[in-house]
Each structure stands twice: as structure tokens, then as C-alpha cells.
Amino acid sequence: MTLAELLPSIGCSTEPVLEEGLWPDGTSLNDQGLIIGGLPAAQLAARFGTPCQILDEATVRARARAFTTALPRAEVVFAGKSMPCPEVYRWTRQEGLSLDVSSAGELALAKAANVEPGRIIMHGNVKTAEDLKAALEYGVGRIVVDSLDEIAQLGALATHGQEVMIRVTPGVDAHTHAKIATGVEGQKFGFSLASGAALEAILRVVEQPSLKLVGLHCHIGSQVRHVASYEETVRRMVGLIASCGTRIEQLDLGGGFCAPYLQGEAGFDLAGFAHRITGALNYECAVHRVPPPRLLIEPGRSIVANAGVTLYRVCAVKRSTRTFVAVDGGMSDNPRPALYGARYAVRLVGRGGRPEPVTVVGRHCEAGDVLAENVLLPHDVHAGDLLAVPATGAYHHALASNYNQVGRPPVIAVRDGVARPIVRRETEEDLLRRYL
């Protein structure tokens, strides 16, 4: 295989062009290098240090608007776990999106962003008593119940007609990685449709005088590329609605819409999804002679992933049987490659050169601390170089840790040539504050 043939397969380009679809809207290359949100990446790294996560506000807002435009009659709910940050919650709220949270902590961020309680949905396979109490105290609009124990506990805590939805496992294979497949049998989420557990959960909620059943919820996985998987989900969920004997006003199909991470990967077909899902919902409801419920969807990754870029500084290069390029971040700011083999493109900022395949590794004491394997960087890459990794807006800040007691990086919002921290860099003082 020639080098030209190898380039697309390993997610890195040596041409002075950017990989299409991976970077924030408006990102460009000029004589100042890589420009993100109207600012040179080198300038951002010098000002805010590395590693740092850059998040383009205009891209987040544009992706949010794309969903409300494509599905004007649906309720679009931002999956808050994908980028838990009050400022990002404000952006999506201002674009007309509701918000889902899965803990009292995420709810606290929503409160800080002044998200209206009625626009918040709380779900998750385990909600502690503290989570439920926080939701009830704030007046969260809907709570998605995930077990019979939770139904009983919430029924005892609630003092009025708390609106609830029931998480259903529809038994649909989304053809994604096993660790992010949530709609198949045999995993921890929801009530099984096939076993009859979902129907039993509906009856249990109806029996609780303090709860009001308003809808059904499901989620089939993450990085879902095939609209047909959602169509099959609609067919099965409407069948449940028709058989349950009670009015279901809302149907939440969850999110999981794919985002591109490597050159050549396509984004989600949102227009096709909107057309086919609304058609499927109306058809199935007509066949089963039930009123069509209001549709809800929960995009997260597809809104923020490609709005983000992480900047790293090269600390060392080791050449032996392989070339390792070691950077000042790693699995503490991006555990996704270690968790489920996620792959990324990498670009050296500021210059080109004859490319060679390298493995970009992190600073942590784990052999699995690998950020990107077999990516092409200039053969003379050296300590001090700046690397940029696109498609890092989703789940990076959310999953970041303090492994090896390394402080988590800042999140820098950029828009129209202005940069501002929306999450500051974690300091050693922050780390020490928790120790007694």
C-alpha cells in the first residue's frame, strides 16, 4: 500500500487542508496556522497552556438549531452528560432545547444555568435517594424511572402528581460498540419489552397515586449510524403503547446520533431521520389506532463533539521499533481510546513535512494510555511541537479524571475572535482541598 492510499485509513492528512467534517465550523488554515473560532491555535495554547480543550460556541449553537429546524414539532433535549457545563447548558437553552440530567450534580449545573425545572428530564439506571430528592425539590418536570424499586421509592417521596416516563429496553441492536449499546437485552438499562417487564412497570406507575405516567423512554446506543434502527424502535414502542391500556402522551427515542471522528466518516443523516421517523411514527400509530405521542429526542454528542478541539504539547519523542510521540495530557483528559478503542485524527500545528506513522501517547502510568495509533505526523516532530485533536467536545470534560493527580484541563469557549474560559484549569490547590 502506498502512502497516498494509507492516509485516509489512518485519519490524518499531510495536505494543507483540514479533514472535512471533523473540525468546528469555520476552522481554517492560513499563514498563522490553524484558526479556530477566529483565533490561532498557537495563540490559544500560549495564552491558556496545554492541554486545553477548545469549544466553538457558534458550532454548538448551529448544531442545536439544526435539530429544532429538522424536527419543529418535537421536543429536543440536550444530553447534558455529554458536556456538563453551565455555560453550554445556557447556549442550548437559548437555542430552545430542553435538558436531561442523570444526577444531583448535573442538576446543580442546570440550576446554575437557570434552566427552567419544567424543561429538565432526569434519568439514569440508578438514581439515589439524594438524586430523587434534589429533583423533587427543584421541581424537575419529568423523571424517567428505571426499576421497580425506583418506582416505589419515588412514589413514596413524591407528594403530588410527579410526571414520570418509563425507560424501556426495546431489544433493538444499533450495530455499535458493545460498551455503548443500550437497547439490547442483557444490559443494565430499562425494563425489557420482550419479557413483559415494561408492561408491568407501566401498571406499577399507574398504581402510584403520587405519580403521573406521561410517556415512555428508550435509548438504543451511541454512535448510531442507521436510521433504520430508530424506525424499528418506533415500531416496537408504538406496539407497547397500543397494548398498555393507558394514554401515552410522549415518546422519547433518546439520542446516540453519530458524529464523525476520522476522515471519511459521515455525520448523522438528520434530514433523513426527521422524515423517516415522523413517517414511521404516524404510520404505526394509524395502524394501531392510537393517538400519536409527542416525539422527544436527546442529542448530545452530535451537538458538541465536532465543536471541540484539544491542544497538546509534545514532551518527548521515542524512536525504536515504533515512534512514540508523548504529550502533556492523556487518558486523564481522554479515556475513550482506553475504554472502547475510540480513534482520533491528529494534526501538528504550524508546519508540515514528510510524514511518518506514529503513536501518540499520554503521560500516565498505563500501557493503555494511548491517544491515537498509526497517525501521520511530520518525520521531524519533536518536543515543543503543538498537536491538535479534533472531535473532542463530547465526553472528554465529562469523563476526565485526576489519575496520577494530574489536574483536569480548562475548557475555553471561542467565538468570533474572542476566547474565554468556561471551565478553569484545575490546580494542585484544588486537588489538595479534598484531603483531610
Domain containing residue 282: CATH number: 3.20.20.10
Q: For the ranges 89-98, 119-128, 219-228, which has the lowest average pLDDT?
A: 219-228
Q: How far is CA 165 from CA 122, 155, 217, 218, 251, in A?
A: 10, 13, 6, 10, 9
> What's phi and psi for 74, nearest 5 deg?
-90, 160
213 and 85 both lie in a single domain: yes
Q: 97-122 burial string, b = 16+ CB within 10 Å, else e?
A: bbbbbbbbebbebbbebebeeebbbb
Query: Which of 304, 329, 352 represents a domain boundary (last residue)?
Result: 304
Q: Where are the alpha helices (DSSP H) in 33-144?
A: 41-48, 57-70, 86-94, 104-112, 129-138
Residues 282 and 383 in one domain: no
Task: Please determine, for residue 14, whether its predicted confidence score (pLDDT) is greater than 50.
Answer: no
204 and 265 assigned to the same domain? yes
Cell numbers of 375, please? 497517525
Arithmetic mean of pLDDT, 294-299:
97
Q: Are residues 134 and 78 in the same domain?
A: yes
Q: Is residue 176 domain-shared with residue 186, that is, in the same domain? A: yes
pLDDT (0 to 100) of residue 344: 97
Tell me which of 12, 52, 85, 365 is the catalytic residue: 365
Query: Do both 45 and 111 map to the same domain?
Result: no
Confidence of residue 220 (pLDDT cuts 50, 70, 90): confident
Q: Are 71 and 149 members of one domain?
A: yes
- Is 330 found in the same domain as 315? yes
- Residue 226: the pLDDT is 86
Residue span of the structural domain in which 253 resides: 57-304
Mean pLDDT of the chain: 92
Residue 365 is among the residues annotated as catalytic for this protein = yes
How far apart (Å, rounded) are the C-alpha atoms in residues 69 and 201?
Answer: 34
pLDDT digits (tens, 9 = 90+) for 318-362: 998 899 999 999 999 999 999 989 999 999 999 888 999 999 999
| Distance in angstroms (rounded) separating the CA atoms of residues 60 and 362 | 28
| Domain count across the chain | 2
What is the per-residue pLDDT for 180? 46
- Beta-carbon neighbour count of residue 74 at 10 Å? 20
Phi, psi at residue 52, to the nearest 5°? -145, 150
pLDDT band at residue 174, thresholds of 50, 70 and 90? low
pLDDT exceeds 90 at position 182: no
What is the CA angle 160-165-169, rounded to 5?
150
Q: What is the pTM of this model?
A: 0.93
Give pLDDT tens digits for 53-79: 999 999 999 999 999 999 999 999 999
- 101 and 122 fall within a common domain: yes
